Amino acid sequence: MEIIAAVRVVVKSLLFVLLWSNGDGKDSEHSYVTCGSLVKLLNTRHDVRLHSHDVKYGSGSGQQSVTGVESADDANSYWQIRGKPKYPCQRGTAIKCGQSIRITHMKTGRNLHTHHFSSPLSNNQEVSAFGENGEGDDLDVWAVQCEGLHWERDEAVRFKHVGTDVFLSVTGEQYGHPIRGQREVHGMSSPNQHNWWRTMEGVFIQPSQEPLRHDEL
Amino acid sequence: MANKGMNLCRVCCLLLYVISAVLAGRDFYKILGVSKSASIRDIKKAYRKLALQLHPDRNPDDPKAQDKFADLGAAYEVLSDEEKRKQYDKYGEDGLKEGHHSSHNDIFSSFFGDFGFMFGGNRQQQDKNIPRGNDIVLDLEVTLEEVYSGNFVEVVRNKPIAKEAPGKRKCNCRQEMRTTQLGPGRFQMTQETVCDECPNVKLVNEERTLEVEIEQGVRDETEYPFIGEGEPHIDGEPGDLRFRIKVLKHPVFERRGDDLYTNVTISLVEALVGFEMDVIHLDGHKVHIVRDKITRPGARMWKKGEGLPNFDNINIRGSLIITFDVDFPQTQLDEQQKDGIRGLLKQDSVQKVYNGLQGY
């Protein structure tokens, strides 16, 4: 076990050196959240991960519900970072602070979405998962608010909805059966301690080199 | 006398050559089957292909399989690292500074995944009773340029791993019926939750780099699985991570199987008198087109071998089919020009009326 752990460190540092030396003058995107990556988002105040599932709201819009869960090993907490409709982002490029993105639920293919409906527990704005196969409508777009130039993996960021201007938030209200213990996720109009999120587990895509070009005569 | 001297010389030379060949160490380029000027992508591609072939599990009858596989791992480790490759090119294997005896397993699993090795990337149906964590499917968008030339995508996988923790926990919880005796001849059946005791585990996040290959000619929806890189299961095995290829639309080329379709607009003059041009292909090479006859609108030109490489045999290529349409002049003609055209073309008036939508 010890040896394997040591070997892992050696190979990891080897690969890290490889990444740096392969930089080609470009910043290693190792620490940024990039277009196309699959991530789990943790609300830092309440320690729950953004989550969705095939359970619809019993009120409001009746669309697929979005909640916060405590577990760290549920594949239903994975979301893919994509460009806004008609403006695809290039795979592997770091997301800029202020950039508009869609956050698509991996398992159901629906986009993180909000609209003028009330949330069931706290009467804030309902946040749902909407669309089919990654295509929904203009209310699927969120802007990443962060410090600096690019969204860093271990940075706490806010998500501001483009359209209704609310921030993705959790304030702690819990659901009962059949999703006992899961927290309500909603939109709130003011930025505060409840709307900080950071990436945790995930598959982070690194930028690729351009495919070979043969400029013969 | 002279003969013996010559023989001795030859033997000495041979001995010297053999000794130096042995001392110089392994030829990593030869092991991977790449040229000395191979790009990092060529090296990754060669490694991935050979690793599948040379894995000891796949060659149980070959006593040298382990050694060959170890050589392959060492070759990749050195040639995929810029610094180490430079040193190796100058000084050979012995010139490498630190001993590179790290386990081949980590390099191998960054291309194929973690959990043991199953050929074809599919999980064998070992024990259906072992609970499995969730699978993760990532839609990987690729460009047509990448389908044509191939590419590698590096990803960093951050995942929770079950680690030992102090204490015990409840596991394998299930409902059981318990019978309790209330008195002579009187019994009660109740349902009870019964659990086993297991060593405690906690989930710790770890990171590793994975390499996904976009193979030449890859078809839409093809999946590349990485065994064991999915979500963990506290009481069982981790699930898998699968990359599903999604080929993006291209502004110039349309893919139909291994064939590529494209459209070219030419001027009316070019359509009538002929033209010469280049179509820039997906990897930058030029496809030369020469026409000296009249080109009708909708005319098609087939360029064999200029399509996409076939996924199963990249030496076979599809065709490039070019459809021409004609751009008529924008400005109206004056009477003099009209007379000139009538005189030049000498085409009789046609004015045929027919149902074009039903193929008449």
Which residue from A75, A200, A209 is facing B231, i.e. has the nearest CB? Answer: A75
Whether B102 maps to a domain, the answer reads no
| The pLDDT value given to residue A24 | 39
Nearest chain A residue to B226 by CA distance is A203
Query: Is it the case that residue A44 has pLDDT exceeding 90?
Result: yes
Do both B241 and B274 map to the same domain? no
Selected residue of B158, B163, B253 to mutate for chain A interface (largest A Cβ count, 10 A): B158
Structural domain harbouring B168: 136-247
Residue A26, chain B, CB below 8 Å: the answer is: no
Whether B123 maps to a domain, the answer reads no
Do both B218 and B171 map to the same domain? yes
Total structural domains within chain B: 3
Euclidean distance between CA atoms A151 and A32, whole angstroms:
6
Mean model confidence pLDDT for chain B: 86
Whether B311 maps to a domain, the answer reads yes
| The pLDDT value given to residue A158 | 97
Check CB contact under 8 Å for A205 and B286.
Answer: no
User: What's B51's domain CATH number?
Assistant: 1.10.287.110
Residue A91, chain B, CB below 8 Å: the answer is: yes
CA of A60, closest CA in chain B: separation in Å? Answer: 31
Tokens of B165: 């923790």
User: What's B173's domain CATH number?
Assistant: 2.60.260.20
Q: What pTM did the predictor assign?
A: 0.79
Whether B111 maps to a domain, the answer reads no
When pLDDT is averaged across residues B207-234 and rounded to a whole number, the result is 92
Mind listing the pLDDT tens digit for each residue in A52-66? 999 999 999 999 999
Check CB contact under 8 Å for B205 and A200.
Answer: yes
| The pLDDT value given to residue B179 | 84
Residue A76 is given by DSSP the state G
- Radius of gyration of chain A from its Cα atoms, rounded to whole angstroms: 19
Do both B216 and B264 map to the same domain? no
CA atoms within 13 A on the CB side of B238: 21
| The pLDDT value given to residue B84 | 87
Mind listing the pLDDT tens digit for each residue in B53-77? 888 888 888 888 888 888 888 889 8
- pLDDT tier at B110 (50, 70, 90 boundaries)? confident
Helix-strand-coil split of chain A, %, nearest 5: 15, 40, 45
Do both B167 and B241 map to the same domain? yes
DSSP E strand boundaries for chain A: 38-43, 48-56, 64-69, 79-83, 100-105, 111-118, 125-130, 141-145, 158-161, 167-174, 183-188, 197-205
Interface of B with A in 214-253 (CB under 8 A): 230-234, 239, 241, 248
- End-of-domain residue from the set B229, B247, B265: B247
Residue B201, chain A, CB below 8 Å: the answer is: no
Mind listing the pLDDT tens digit for each residue in B295-345? 999 999 999 999 999 999 989 999 999 999 999 999 999 999 999 999 998
Percent of chain A with pLDDT over 90: 77
Whether B166 maps to a domain, the answer reads yes
| The pLDDT value given to residue B288 | 96
Do both B230 and B265 map to the same domain? no
- End-of-domain residue from the set B221, B247, B273: B247
CATH for A2-203 is 2.80.10.50
Residue A75, chain B, CB below 8 Å: the answer is: yes
Cβ atoms of A20 and A187 within 8 Å: the answer is no
Cβ atoms of A103 and A81 within 8 Å: the answer is yes
Tokens of B190: 């109740």
- End-of-domain residue from the set B197, B213, B247: B247
Which residue from A21, A91, A215 is facing B284, i.e. has the nearest CB? Answer: A215
Which residue from B106, B150, B203 is facing A73, i.e. has the nearest CB? Answer: B203
| The pLDDT value given to residue A23 | 40
Selected residue of A24, A71, A73, A111 to mutate for chain B interface (largest B Cβ count, 10 A): A73
Contacts of residue A73 in chain B, CB cutoff 8 Å?
133-134, 160, 203, 231-234
Do both B163 and B200 map to the same domain? yes
Residue B74, chain A, CB below 8 Å: the answer is: no
Check CB contact under 8 Å for B150 and A106.
Answer: no
Number of alpha helices (DSSP H) and beta strands (DSSP E) in chain B: 9, 11
ipTM here: 0.81
Mind listing the pLDDT tens digit for each residue in A69-123? 999 889 999 999 999 998 889 999 999 999 999 999 999 999 999 999 999 999 9
Q: Is B144 helix (H, G, I), strand (E, B) or coil?
A: helix
Residue B303, chain A, CB below 8 Å: the answer is: no
Query: Is it the case that residue A30 has pLDDT exceeding 80?
Result: no
Residue B16, chain A, CB below 8 Å: the answer is: no
Whether B10 maps to a domain, the answer reads no
Residue A15, chain B, CB below 8 Å: the answer is: yes
Whether B18 maps to a domain, the answer reads no
| The pLDDT value given to residue B298 | 95
| The pLDDT value given to residue B100 | 53
Residue B238 neighbours by CB under 8 Å, 6+ apart: B114, B115, B132, B133, B159, B228, B229, B230, B231, B232
Check CB contact under 8 Å for B103 and A7.
Answer: yes
Strands B254-256 and B286-291 turn out to be unpaired
CA of B185, closest CA in chain A: separation in Å? Answer: 40
Do both B241 and B292 map to the same domain? no
Check CB contact under 8 Å for A206 and B139.
Answer: no
Check CB contact under 8 Å for B136 and A14.
Answer: no
Do both B143 and B237 map to the same domain? yes
Whether B303 maps to a domain, the answer reads yes
Contacts of residue B207 in chain A, CB cutoff 8 Å?
12
| The pLDDT value given to residue B26 | 83
Check CB contact under 8 Å for A73 and B133.
Answer: yes
Of B216, B211, B222, which Cα lies nearest the Cα of B245? Answer: B222
Q: Find the angle CA(B28)-CA(B32)-CA(B38) to the nearest 5 degrees.
A: 90
Residue B286, chain A, CB below 8 Å: the answer is: yes
Contacts of residue B115 in chain A, CB cutoff 8 Å?
none
| The pLDDT value given to residue B120 | 44
Check CB contact under 8 Å for B40 and A211.
Answer: no
Check CB contact under 8 Å for A212 and B137.
Answer: no
Whole-angstrom CA distances from B201 to A70, B172, B237, B342 are 16, 14, 14, 90
Residue B251 neighbours by CB under 8 Å, 6+ apart: none
